[in-house]
Amino acid sequence: MKALRLHEMKKLIIVITVLFFCISANSQERRLALIVGNGNYPTSTLSNPENDAKSMEKSLKALGFKVIRHENLTQKKLTQAIDDFGNKLKYYDVGLFFYAGHGIQAKGFNYLIPVDAVLKAESDVEYNCVRADRIFGKMEEAQNDINIIILDACRDNPFERSWTRAARGRGLTFMDAPGGSIIAYATAPGKTASDGYGKNSPYTSALIQCMEIPNIKIEDFLKKVRAQVREQTKSQQTPWESTSLEGDFYFHLDANQTIQETQHTDATQPVDNSVKELKRTAAPEIKSMAILPLANYSGDESKAYLAMGMQDALISEIGQLGTIRVISKTSTLSYTNTQKTIQEIAYELNVDAIMEASIMTLQNNIRLHLKLYSAYPEERQIWSQTFDSDLSNIFNLYNEVIKTVANEIQLSLSPEQQNQLEKTRQVNTEAYDAYLMGQFYFYQITPEGFQKALEYFNLAIEKDPDWGPPYAGMALYWIGMRQIGLEKSSITIPNIYKYLDKAVDLNPNSANTHYVNALAAVWTGFDWEKGEREFLKALEINPNHALCRGYFAALLLILGRTDEAYEQGKLSVELDPLNPQVQGLFTGVLLERGEYDEVISLAKKIPNNPAALTCMEAAYYYQGDYQNSIKAMMQLNQYSLDKETISDINKTYEAEGYKAALEDIVCAMEEKAQNSVVWPFDIVYYYRSELNKPAKTLELLEKGFEIRDPGMPFISISMLPIDYIRDNPRFIELLKKMNLPLGEFE
């Protein structure tokens, strides 16, 4: 007992000694801060920067800083304030610059916007603003030990709205921290931050609150700030930082509390197995990842489809682990050959880790090289491995990848998952090759691409008639042909079920097969129970299937379960944030919730997506903005109506108004229906109360039910502009036939 107490006493003395030196150093540190709050802009006043500056001054003074505070500086005065600060800083150990206000990126540089800036074009920025790296230069000249730059300057750029399309920058761009410094941003590069609705911006508020936490290094302090801002803004804003600090810095040291340390390990050095196990334990927790497009090192550009198919397969296979969120393929394709850093990509996709991959092929032999990086608190490689296989054993290669990844990031596999991964699966190489080509062409979503997909899916079936995926591909092909009206129902429906039944028979445990089955059940069979059952089964197998969640949200919307639809829609966007199809589906959910501005904002980001255009048009209609409603209608029909017809409709609107333009649209659609496939629902969409044609509307809807028009399930949603017939007995009877919610007529 005595020895134990002696040991504990020695340990306490060590802790107290370390803390004493830290506190001594802190008390002797000379700290200087420059605080600038610019909010009084002539064209776009910000409510919080002045409050942010005052609150930050109070907090920093309490932490031992000498503070210089300025508000609403012109370009000349802001430049002078930075220069004066730099001259004084050489007599201090720690320098801190805090800026709240408008910031902007232009031509690769970041600028702080003075209150007297006149920015009619991007070219004006250089001469009317102050480059952010001016402060870096002054800090470097001072040669003090530690410099901290905090930029709550990523608020939406009001000037850019009047610029040309060439000026695409939003927020600030990435800047490397100069030696001995750390740069903290209110949000990720290229993103905008909120000014907030309280006394302070969300970012400044979090900074001030976290500064009160004792004995944490600045890197860990900023992690707490990031978590608080993400929570407060519901993940709409993610602060980030760039650092080249070599020493430690604490805002607040308290002798009565222990120092909070975060263990860091260098996973890039060669280690033996025992050390490797220790590093796994110390590795940051990974709950989400993105797999970047595979680099094709085969020297054969014709193998691009193989690289894309393997990326898709890796995402699907790892996504089936369930306990980790994996970003879907479409959102990662924009990072092909990217020059962005791991951290930049991780911030943009809101993930913890990034996997890079490359393939080399020689005849039927494949070499797959994978690298896994954690993004936070700094970028570092935590795993790298090469896998060799011939194409016939590709699924066994995927099994090995999954087991290795799960082991490296400490994911526990269920007994069922382990058994599944131990199974040996071989594939006919020619069939697999043809199937990947079919997928490659199908997702081009063009008539030419569909035709090529048909050829390759058929070839895959010919090469291996007992392999399930090509049959699911064929079923999806016929669903697509039916959905966009390229073929009649009498041809598409029998083919959908012919191939789908075969796919289910051959591959009953495939998430993709259940997903395609759900699509057919809802939009061809009008069988809501089966559709929900199949969606849930697909998501049980692969919780990361973004499109499955998006279409499941659409079904829930049809069934009047709007809150559930919103949750599924949100998840789908999180899983595939850059996918226009996923975003387009989500606009329908937002429209049903009456969030018109959000619908319009999201739809503008995906200007050629039919679902988004439809919802945007409806949002404008319900806002009474008929001019933009007509504009959206014409954009929606840019490929189905000729340019002359569209021009005539626009002229009718200008000369005679909204009702006359609607009549022209309906006339054009009905004329087109005589020569090609036009669904009744697509015409009914324009039969609004302004035309007062309930009998014709009901006649078209009843016809749509008879021919299984894929738009018909949506007649139950409240935001479809057919209020003038909702209490009509014929319409209520139609809802009953379709087993759809009756709403107030239950």
Q: What CATH number does the domain containing 288 carry?
A: 3.40.50.10070
Confidence band for 360, pLDDT divided at 50, 70 and 90: confident
Whether pLDDT at 413 is above 90: no
Task: Tell which wins on pLDDT, 578 or 29.
Answer: 578
For position 745, what pLDDT does the model report?
A: 53
538 belongs to a structural domain: no
Q: Are residues 46 and 160 in the same domain?
A: yes
Give the count of beta carbons closer than 10 Å to the beta carbon of residue 353: 25
Clarify whether residues 239 and 282 are in a common domain.
no
Mean pLDDT of 2-26: 41
Residue 314 and residue 196 in one domain: no
Q: 573: Cβ–Cβ under 8 A, 6 or more apart, which residues?
A: 546, 582, 583, 586
Residue 346 has pLDDT above 50, yes or no: yes
Does residue 709 form part of some domain?
yes
pLDDT at 485 over 80: no
* 359 in any annotated domain: yes
Say which residue, 285 or 635, is predicted with more confidence: 635
Cα distance between residue 495 and residue 500, in whole Å: 8
Residue of 3 and 315 predicted with greater confidence: 315
Is residue 313 domain-shared with residue 404, that is, in the same domain?
yes
Residue 584, in any domain of the structure? no
Per-residue pLDDT, averaged over 517-530, amounts to 94
- Of 391, 406, 426, the position where a domain reaches its end is 426
Q: Residue 175: pLDDT band by 50, 70, 90 thresholds?
A: low
Supply the DSSP string of 425-494, one letter for each residue: ----HHHHHHHHHHHHHHTT-SHHHHHHHHHHHHHHHHH-TT-SHHHHHHHHHHHHHHHTTSS-HHHHHH
* Residue 25, pLDDT above cutoff 60: no
Mention every residue, 6+ apart, whose C-beta is less than 8 A from residue 299.
Answer: none
pLDDT value at 263 more than 50: no
Q: Is the pLDDT of residue 170 over 80?
A: no
H/E stretch holding 678:
none
pLDDT at residue 278 in the model: 27
**Average pLDDT of every residue of the chain:** 82
pLDDT at 356: 87
pLDDT, average across residues 199-220: 89
Asked if residue 280 has pLDDT above 60, the reply is: no
Q: Which of 193-202, 315-324, 568-577, 670-679 has the lowest mean pLDDT?
A: 193-202
**Where is average pLDDT lowest: 179-183, 621-625, 653-657?**
179-183
One domain for residues 48 and 190: yes
Domain total of the chain? 3
| 218 and 303 belong to one structural domain | no
Domain closes at, from 400, 426, 452: 426
How would you class 379 by CB atoms within 10 Å of its CB: exposed for 0-12, middle for 13-18, buried for 19 or more?
A: middle
Same domain, 313 and 364: yes
| pLDDT recorded at residue 15 | 40
Residue with the larger pLDDT of the pair 449 and 639: 449
Give helix then strand counts, H and E, for the chain: 30, 14
Q: Which of 367, 402, 426 is the last residue before a domain boundary?
A: 426
Whether residue 109 sits in one domain with residue 164: yes
Would you state the pLDDT for residue 286?
Answer: 81
Give the model's pLDDT for residue 14. Answer: 37
Q: Which residue has the higher pLDDT, 621 or 174?
A: 621
Q: How many CB atoms lie within 10 A of CB 667?
A: 13
- pLDDT higher than threshold 50 for residue 9: no
Q: State the residue range of the domain holding 391.
A: 277-426
Q: How does residue 31 score in pLDDT terms, banded at 50, 70 and 90?
A: very high
CA angle 581, 585, 589 (to 5 degrees): 160
Q: Which residues of 716-740 are buried (b: 16+ CB within 10 A; e: fewer)?
A: bbebbbbebbbeeeebbebbeebeb
Paired tokens of 362: 């020689």
Looking at the structure, tell me whether residues 53 and 200 fall in a common domain. Answer: yes
* Residue carrying structure tokens 């000037």: 159
Reported pTM: 0.60
* Structural domain includes residue 507: no
The answer to whether residue 117 is domain-embedded is: yes
State the Cα–Cα distance between residues 113 and 75, nearest whole angstrom: 8
> Look-up: residue for tokens 């990086």?
373
> Do 300 and 235 belong to one domain?
no
C-alpha to C-alpha distance for 570 and 411, rounded to whole angstroms: 25
Residue at 319: amino acid letter: G
| Residue range 239-260: mean pLDDT, rounded | 73
Res. 169 pLDDT band, cuts 50 70 90: very low
Quick check: is 595 in a domain?
no
Residue 458 lies in a domain: no
Residues 42 and 171 in one domain: yes
Query: Highest mean pLDDT range out of 109-113, 207-211, 393-397?
Result: 207-211
The radius of gyration of the chain's CA atoms, rounded to the nearest angstrom, is: 30
- In this structure, of 269-283, 406-420, 546-560, 610-624, the range with the lowest mean pLDDT score is 269-283
Residue 297's pLDDT band, with cuts at 50, 70 and 90, is: low
CATH of residue 88: 3.40.50.1460
HSE toward the beta carbon, residue 566, CA cutoff 13 A: 10
Confidence (pLDDT) at 158: 59
214 and 301 part of one domain: no
pLDDT at 277: 31
Q: Is the pLDDT of residue 153 over 70?
A: yes
pLDDT top residue among 294 and 464: 464
Looking at 164-178, 465-479, 605-619, 716-730, which range is the least confident one? 164-178
pLDDT tens for 349-358 read: 888 889 888 8
Parallel, antiparallel, or unpaired: how do β-strands 353-362 and 295-296 relate?
parallel
pLDDT (average), residues 61-71:
94
- pLDDT for 524 equals 92
